[in-house]
Structure 1
Amino acid sequence: MDQADKNANPLLDFSDLPRFAEIRPEHIGPALDVLLEAAQRAVALVEDPARPATWADTVDTLEQATEPLGRAWGVVGHLSSVADTPALRQAHAENLPRMTEFWSSLGQNLALYEKYKALAASPEYAALSPARKQLLDNELRGFRLGGAELPEDQKPRFAEIQEQQAQLGKAFSDHVLDATNAYSLVIEDPARLAGLPPDTLEAAREAAAKDGKEGWKFTLHFPSYFPVLQYADDRALRQTLYEANVTRASELSPQYGTGQADWDNTANMREQLALRREEARMLGYGSYGEVSLVPKMADSPAEVLRFLDELAAKARPYAERDWAELREFAAKELGLAELAPWDVAYASEKLRQQRYAFSEHEVKQYFPEPKVLEGLFGVVQKLFSVRIAPDEAQTWHKDVRFYRVTSPDGTLLAQFYLDLYAREGKRGGAWMDDARGRRERGDGSVQTPVAYLTCNFSAPVGDKPALFTHDEVITLFHEFGHGLHHMLTQVGELGVSGINGVEWDAVELPSQFMENFCWEYEVLADMTRHVDTGEPLPRALFERMLAAKNFQNGMMTLRQIVFSAFDMHLHTDFDPDGDKSVLELSREINDRIHVVPQYPLSRWPNTFSHIFAGGYAAGYYSYKWAEVLSADVYAAFEEAAQLTGSVLDSETGARYHREILSVGGSRPAMESFTAFRGRPPQIDALLRHGGMAA
């Protein structure tokens, strides 16, 4: 494409970083016209029977044409998640079908599949690097799962299934965002706000003033509603917000104006499940759970469910104790004879304060954002011998910052965007995504990786910096762990560099690994400063936090297992056309596994975006699966600390970088784990870290 195209349409400029300040919804269609045409030309070229089945003529040619398409569409998807507008949503919806159609036609392309098979069977294969062999194996598997081996008369239906799933996933996500954004509650009587921390009140007052209203405005964005559940003495206020939150995107959604019924995700879930089952049957599998596990570490749904059952059995006695203690405390100390769901966070916070003599609000004062970032970057720099410094780039919002990661000699390794605060038009949760991957070009130059790191924390209020809860600090470390996996790779093949090609149930290892440092005093002493006094976190307060670390961990573990088992059963033995509803299945599984009853009004599956809009279908168990790996990996740093006196051991960090981060998806995750640890994984460290070891 010529320079004029790039200048006129910022989505066609791949010379460096995305020109976010210039991208408009009207650029999307024209940019995709150009990029799809280029990609289709490359496909036709590679398909040609006269063209040799070599790496350069097949894999390289295809990648050079499809990578810009993926990057441009990635920018569009990213903006949809962080800066949603009606015009952007419409442009995304208009172009989603043709993007889905292109990628599904690529996966079904028998001529391309034959080319890749020919390359794998050629003399050249033996000379390929291990990374290239892994990439080729992944591509062949992708063709099989993409329907390339289906009879020609079945391929149109298979493509239709992919398109419908993409549209339903986007709609599911939009419904959750719309239902979240649409609800607000303005409280004018200050007496109803007793118990709420000052910073929560200040943020609510600012939100109301922004709308031109008196009083305090609360929404269903996590930093707004959760402090109400945790601290508000007004039980009716807690109930109102709790019920509004757990009925989002359902038939019970609060009546917030016209169109709310369109946000009910009940039918959407059934449709997605039916399509996934149909896809699995077309590919010759018994269930979508089996399809999902083909590229993962776990071998079968039965193995996953067995793993979850064993973990649940170990956690259950601790969960039963947690629940009994909480109910007894609520009855005796708070006068709550019956513990309602909107009382759980409130009573838990009160019990935590009584038992460990601190509140989350007190701890939060020690975590001002600038100091937290300095501490996080310090850990990374010490462990992995890199430097992190502010950098310049166009962004999608004034609050977004940009950084560069370099080696000690100043060589650019990677860059990342940091978008920390919750706001309207931004979907909830926290995530890392790639803006571009690492790739070694034919001319010997390297395309360096760029990451998006996105959270939904409370923004600064007044002249004070943003203050983070300890949980938010853990979330930040978690997402940065994903970012490091993407940014510190040394693999030059795009399809297996960084997080690409890593088994889904191992991809959480580097993120969960990083969380552990948030529980080390040597780390926290450096990354905390009281917002008013400038004092670091007192050792005595840290010891109380540590004592409280596994507070209610039995209950929380069972909650995660409920989500994981629900997801796997949903995709393995649930009949989307049967009499039982998705909600009924969630209740059955909760009743069987959890000690805390599921509230009758709760419609939590309707907002379970991980599995209905986020790629975790029949894969949510991977959080717990990877936790076993990450705890065991971190145990190596604990062992090093016994010798060196510090978990920030650069020698162990260098080995972790070399054997896990740098190799990305270029070899199976189990090989990388074993290369680092010298043995297969063991569950002991997870149980010990979780306070569930005998």
Structure 2
Amino acid sequence: MAQQKNILLQDFDTLHRTPPFSQIKSEDYIPAVKQGIKEAYANIEAIKNNPDAPTFENTIEAMEHVSDTLYRVLYIFYSLLSADGGDDYHTLVGEIGPLTADLSSDIMLDDKLFERVKTVYDARETRDYEAVEMTLLEDTYDGFVRSGALLGKAEKKRLKEISAESATLSPRFSQNVVKCSGAFELKITDKNDLEGLPETAIENAAHEAKERGYDNAWLFTLDAPSFIPFLTFADNRDLREKIWRAYTARALEGEFDNRPIISRTLELRQESAKLLGFDTYADYVLEDRMVKKVETVTEFLDTLYETYRPAAEKDLKELQDFAQAQGDLDKLKPWDVGYYSEKLKEKTFEFSEEELRPYFPLTKVLDGTFAHFQKLFKLDFVENKDIETWHKDVVAYEVRDKDTHDLFGVIYTDFYVRKGKRSGAWKGSLRTHGSFRGEALPSLVTVCCNFAKPTDTKPSLLSHSDVLTIFHEMGHALHDLLGRTKYKSTSGTNVLWDFVELPSQLQENWLYESETLNMVSSHFETGSKLPSALIEKLRKSKNFMSGWGGLRYLSHAYMDMAFHTAKTPPKADEIVAFEKQATDKCRLFEDYGGCSATAFGHIFAGGYAAGYYSYKWAAVLDADTFELFQEKGLYDRNTALHYRREILEKGGSEAPEVLYHNFRGRDADPKAVLRREGLLKKAS
């Protein structure tokens, strides 16, 4: 019997060459990765042994396609690892990571290849390059230098070892958080313990208990759709404390302890930075960001701190006074903040966000989301059931230009929580826009969330925060889909890290505007739109406790910078104390235990190392951008298409500050974000 061919190495005989997920087996990955690596090495040999003199075309452009086969396999693997990964995927990642790290190191540390790149780079002034070509050339050269191409033989060898070990640590960190979270269950059998919880949260907890085989019980977990409502609404303070302590102690000890991984990760990052001539890992990272240096980040965060700290103290004082006035609390504690802030918001604005939930059934929200982007960017979203997905909950949509019907790509939506799925929400890529084996192919992107599933009596009903999440991730997705640059490595979200959140965060602004809210809302029973009175209350409550929220964000940003500016990284048993010291200036409560770092996937498993500041950096850009839409009109066609052409379509083809200046006609106003948060008065 002939051996079946590895589907991952074939040209997919499917619509738009989309992955045939049902034909992919876990045992296909390692052989496919190894074959992809083999092809990449062969392609590199062909480039560096080319008898012709080095040129942009035969060296720089040629390198764009060196790893086409490998990247196709890896995009699929890592997408499914996050969205649907079982134990076999978590086992495979430990093997795949080092294999690909070795390839990357071998390419970037190849003297002969770098010599060709350097020859082209050194002669860059002798040719009239397009902006995107110059960007690709400079990025390629800088990539080699930042990977150690100028180091000696011994240093290169050590850098390669560091890269290989580092590749195993991030997935282990993520797995520990997922497994630790999955091991926690708050099982309730006394109905009195459900007092205060919204009906939707209770129904979801009953559904979760039933799914896990518990009769006559309600089950709460550390997944956001379960954990957040419990902390916000449950009257039982002891149980709020229990679930808060579990959440803040994720991966802190025992079998899934992430402290040794954090310590080792920081050691390797600092060692690599020193080898490359930088004082700290943050110095290394920020050289390749809009901010360029640590001092700029520190000044930026400190400026925000001057506003956020007093505002947060004021927020907490009001909350403490309110809680004490209720007569059932003498001292506010961390597990009380969500609960009493919700009650204070209800009293202040005569409004609870739970009032919005019946108006946000997922199907209507998604229809409205598509309508919003159609109106803004002239796009059509059409479900295509002929496109295979990896799970029955996933739906594939073709995205086309409304006028020309040209295909931009496919969005796979995966919205429901399930066991083994990574927590949170994200935009993933199954394929970036560009050519593969000589064929031009559209982008394939994923939008993944963790919303509660429909129950027997109700559809999946979203909070306003959930709707914000969809708009955020769709902003990322369209950045990828609308990318139209000449090269894959400069397309879509392939931009500097502190610019990448602009397209996503910008979209959230529309969800406080009546016109957009009417698109995404429809009461799941009556079909009525969100009442104007509720919209007005939502708008008024938008900046409720914004000082508190801003200070919490700064706590994580300062922690990130402290970890990555430490010349002597903390040992495993020093992680908790190090975090406390780094975040002390943001502390408003005494210490109640726990540790944020052990579950801080953004910086230890998500690419945001020395980069968490970028959320607020991008917030300045998106607030400044939205002020233009407010001035010209929320759906002003000229403004929207100008933004699409200058920001979304151009990806990373030029420096982000150039792209932004071309779009806005000036640099961003740093005060725009504080104006939006109600912490700075708008100019009259």
What is the TM-score of this pair, normalised by structure 1?
Answer: 0.94
Q: Distance in 2 between matches of 1:239 and 1:131?
A: 53
Is structure 2 residue 422 aligned with structure 1 residue 427? yes
Is structure 2 residue 636 aligned with structure 1 residue 627? no
Q: Distance in 2 between matches of 1:13 and 1:579?
A: 45
Q: 1:606 is matched with which residue?
A: 598
Q: Distance in 1 between matches of 2:72 and 2:378?
A: 29
Is structure 2 residue 527 aligned with structure 1 residue 525? no
Matches within 5 A, 1:266-415: 266-333=259-326, 335-391=328-384, 392-407=386-401, 408-415=403-410
Q: Distance in 2 between matches of 1:64 and 1:138?
A: 15
Q: Contact 1:567 / 1:618 at 8 angstroms: preserved in 2?
A: yes
Q: 1:568 is matched with which residue?
A: 561
Q: Distance in 2 between matches of 1:104 and 1:19?
A: 31
Q: 1:258 is matched with which residue?
A: none
Q: Contact 1:125 / 1:133 at 8 angstroms: preserved in 2?
A: no
Q: Distance in 1 between matches of 2:440 and 2:43?
A: 22
Q: Contact 2:39 / 2:69 at 8 angstroms: preserved in 1?
A: no
**What is the CA distance between 1:125 and its match in structure 2?**
6.6
Q: Distance in 2 between matches of 1:236 and 1:174?
A: 29
Q: Contact 1:591 / 1:597 at 8 angstroms: preserved in 2?
A: no
CA distances 1:55-106 after superposition (whole Å, capped 9, x unpaired) = 3322343332302211211211111111121122212222221111111221
Matches within 5 A, 1:435-454: 435-439=430-434, 446-454=440-448
Q: 1:257 is matched with which residue?
A: none
2:491 is matched by which residue type in structure 1?
Answer: S
Q: 2:450 is matched with which residue?
A: 456
**What is the CA distance between 1:129 and its match in structure 2?**
2.4
Q: 2:133 is matched with which residue?
A: 132
1:661 to 642, 648, 652: 648
Is structure 2 residue 642 aligned with structure 1 residue 693? no
Q: 1:34 is matched with which residue?
A: 35
Q: Distance in 2 between matches of 1:310 and 1:127?
A: 42
Q: Distance in 2 between matches of 1:568 and 1:232?
A: 35
Q: 2:630 is matched with which residue?
A: 638
Tell which deviates more after alignment, 364-373 or 46-55. 46-55
**What is the CA distance between 1:172 and its match in structure 2?**
0.5
Q: Contact 1:631 / 1:686 at 8 angstroms: preserved in 2?
A: yes
Q: Contact 2:81 / 2:89 at 8 angstroms: preserved in 1?
A: yes
Q: 1:684 is matched with which residue?
A: 671
CA distances 1:338-359 after superposition (whole Å, capped 9, x unpaired) = 1111111111111111111122
Q: Contact 1:567 / 1:620 at 8 angstroms: preserved in 2?
A: yes
**What is the CA distance between 1:457 and its match in structure 2?**
1.4
1:438 is matched by which residue type in structure 2?
Answer: H
SS at match of 1:397: coil
Change (3 A) 1:170 1:520: same
CA distances 1:118-137 after superposition (whole Å, capped 9, x unpaired) = 22244797243221210111
Q: Distance in 2 between matches of 1:186 and 1:578?
A: 36
**What is the CA distance between 1:509 and its match in structure 2?**
0.6
Change (3 A) 1:185 1:442: closer
**What is the CA distance between 1:579 and its match in structure 2?**
10
2:589 to 592, 597, 618: 597
Size of the alignment, in residue pairs?
673
Q: Distance in 2 between matches of 1:306 and 1:519?
A: 31
Q: Distance in 2 between matches of 1:598 and 1:111?
A: 58
CA distances 1:199-256 after superposition (whole Å, capped 9, x unpaired) = 11111112212222221111111111211111111111111111111111012xxxxx
**What is the CA distance between 1:433 and its match in structure 2?**
1.9
Q: 1:227 is matched with which residue?
A: 229
Q: 2:459 is matched with which residue?
A: 465
Q: Contact 2:562 / 2:582 at 8 angstroms: preserved in 1?
A: no
Q: Contact 2:101 / 2:164 at 8 angstroms: preserved in 1?
A: yes
Q: Contact 2:312 / 2:546 at 8 angstroms: preserved in 1?
A: yes
Q: Contact 1:54 / 1:124 at 8 angstroms: preserved in 2?
A: no
**What is the CA distance between 1:54 and its match in structure 2?**
2.4
CA distances 1:656-681 after superposition (whole Å, capped 9, x unpaired) = 01111111000011111111111111
1:233 is matched by which residue type in structure 2?
Answer: D
Q: Distance in 1 between matches of 2:389 and 2:432?
A: 19
Tell which deviates more after alignment, 19-28 or 54-63. 54-63
Q: Distance in 1 between matches of 2:343 and 2:124?
A: 69
Q: Contact 2:381 / 2:397 at 8 angstroms: preserved in 1?
A: yes
Change (3 A) 1:680 1:9: same
Q: Contact 1:35 / 1:69 at 8 angstroms: preserved in 2?
A: yes
SS at match of 2:408: strand
Matches within 5 A, 1:104-183: 104-122=105-123, 126-183=127-184
CA distances 1:401-429 after superposition (whole Å, capped 9, x unpaired) = 11111112211112111111111111111
Gaps of 5+ in 2: none
Q: Distance in 1 between matches of 2:531 and 2:489?
A: 46
Q: Contact 2:72 / 2:430 at 8 angstroms: preserved in 1?
A: yes
**What is the CA distance between 1:302 and its match in structure 2?**
1.1
Q: 2:6 is matched with which residue?
A: 9
Q: 1:77 is matched with which residue?
A: 78
2:606 is matched by which residue type in structure 1?
Answer: G
Q: Contact 1:131 / 1:667 at 8 angstroms: preserved in 2?
A: yes
CA distances 1:573-594 after superposition (whole Å, capped 9, x unpaired) = 3522579923223222332134
Q: Distance in 2 between matches of 1:108 and 1:329?
A: 61
Q: Distance in 2 between matches of 1:515 and 1:509?
A: 10
Q: Contact 2:376 / 2:640 at 8 angstroms: preserved in 1?
A: yes
Q: Distance in 1 between matches of 2:590 and 2:446?
A: 35
Q: 1:64 is matched with which residue?
A: 65
Q: 1:216 is matched with which residue?
A: 218
**What is the CA distance between 1:568 and its match in structure 2?**
0.9
SS at match of 1:220: coil
**What is the CA distance between 1:273 and its match in structure 2?**
0.6
Q: 1:254 is matched with which residue?
A: none
Q: 1:644 is matched with which residue?
A: none
Is structure 2 residue 538 aligned with structure 1 residue 541? no
Q: Contact 1:438 / 1:492 at 8 angstroms: preserved in 2?
A: no
1:652 is matched by which residue type in structure 2?
Answer: T
Q: Distance in 2 between matches of 1:211 and 1:441?
A: 43
Q: 2:475 is matched with which residue?
A: 481
Is structure 2 residue 92 aligned with structure 1 residue 97? no
Q: 2:610 is matched with which residue?
A: 618
Tell which deviates more after alignment, 271-280 or 370-379. 370-379
Q: Distance in 2 between matches of 1:17 and 1:492?
A: 22
CA RMSD of aligned residues (A): 1.8
SS at match of 1:460: coil
2:118 is matched by which residue type in structure 1?
Answer: K
Q: Distance in 1 between matches of 2:474 and 2:571?
A: 42
Change (3 A) 1:12 1:522: same
Q: Distance in 2 between matches of 1:588 and 1:604?
A: 13
Q: Distance in 2 between matches of 1:549 and 1:107?
A: 48
Tell which deviates more after alignment, 202-211 or 532-541. 202-211
**What is the CA distance between 1:440 and its match in structure 2?**
5.3
CA distances 1:251-289 after superposition (whole Å, capped 9, x unpaired) = 2xxxxxxxxx23101111111111100000000000000
